[in-house]
A and B are shown apart, each in its own frame.
Chain A
Amino acid sequence: EVQLVESGGGLVQPGGSLRLSCVVSGFTLSDYYMDWVRQAPGKGLEWVGRTRNKARSYTTEYDASVKGRFIISRDDSKNTLYLQMNSLKTEDTAVYFCVRAERGVRNNYYFEYWGQGTLVTVSS
């Protein structure tokens, strides 16, 4: 059974840093593209960024709103995905979801499995 469990959320001051973790089970992390998606309280979904799989050299993509501040990494030996968040802003307040992407028949990747999310609150 595929499982993704996020942790590391909490209250942080503007300008601060936080690292989220996502421990996965039921599949081999290195085989999969992994994403972070966030949802501000009462708002819609927003993609944060992606790390490709080992075959694609773990290259990354980010939304412009977080590029240069957030870093996605992984430790396949620990079955763990990370989101390092620096220079946090109040508008980064959201539930952060870890997502496994699945390759479609035409080789684009869509979100398939989601974790339960972890809440990050940026406030003074």
Chain B
Amino acid sequence: DIQMTQSPSSLSASVGDRVTITCRASQAINNYLVWFQQKPGKAPKSLIYDASSLQSGVPSKFSGSGSGTEFSLTITSLQPEDFATYYCHQYHSYPLTFGGGTKVEIK
């Protein structure tokens, strides 16, 4: 199974900050990576697919990068609606797996 390791598990940031979340895969996943945002009590929302492609309707403040086994999600100019938990997910091979999540909290 491909293990997905996210870091940090949580972070505190202020409105207007830029934050970066990292995801490491236990083996190469050919950029088959999605980033999700989840707010309490809600379903996850896809932000980025294929590691760096912005999902339709998602603002360009979200960007994804990386290749091989190392990937990152960057959020610029944090706004109150961006405080949430973010997950990475690999769809390279079965079983499909997720990172443990990064909770972005208000400082």
Q: Which of B38, B50, B87, B99 contacts A104 (CB 8 A)?
A: B50
Give the contact-size bracket for chain A.
20 to 34
Q: What is the predominant secondary structure among interface residues of chain A facing chain B? A: strand
A27 interface contact, C-beta 8 A:
no
**In the complex, the 3 A-B pairs of residues with the closest C-beta atoms, listed nearest first:** A114-B43, A47-B96, A45-B98
Contact A108 B98 (CB under 8 A): no
Contact B100 A44 (CB under 8 A): yes
Contact A45 B46 (CB under 8 A): no
Contact A110 B46 (CB under 8 A): yes
Distance in Å: Cβ of A24 to nearest Cβ of chain B: 14
Distance in Å: Cβ of B39 to nearest Cβ of chain A: 12
Q: Which of A35, A110, A116 contacts B43 (CB 8 A)?
A: A116
Contact B32 A108 (CB under 8 A): yes
**Besides A46-B98, A64-B95, A111-B89, 9 other A-B contacts (C-beta < 8 A):** A47-B96, A47-B97, A50-B96, A61-B95, A63-B95, A109-B91, A110-B34, A111-B34, A116-B42
Contact B95 A47 (CB under 8 A): yes
Q: Which chain A residues numbered 13 to 28 have a C-beta less than 8 Å away from chain B?
A: none
Give B contacts to A, CB under 8 Å.
Answer: 30, 32, 34, 36, 38, 42-46, 49-50, 55, 87, 89, 91-92, 94-101
Contact A44 B95 (CB under 8 A): no
Q: Which of B46, B87, B94, B101 contacts A61 (CB 8 A)?
A: B94
Q: Which of B45, B49, B94, B99 contacts A110 (CB 8 A)?
A: B49
- When distances are taken between beta carbons in the complex, the residues of chain A under 8 Å from B46 are 110-112
Contact B98 A44 (CB under 8 A): yes
Contact B91 A108 (CB under 8 A): yes
Contact B43 A45 (CB under 8 A): no
Q: Which of B30, B44, B55 contacts A45 (CB 8 A)?
A: B44
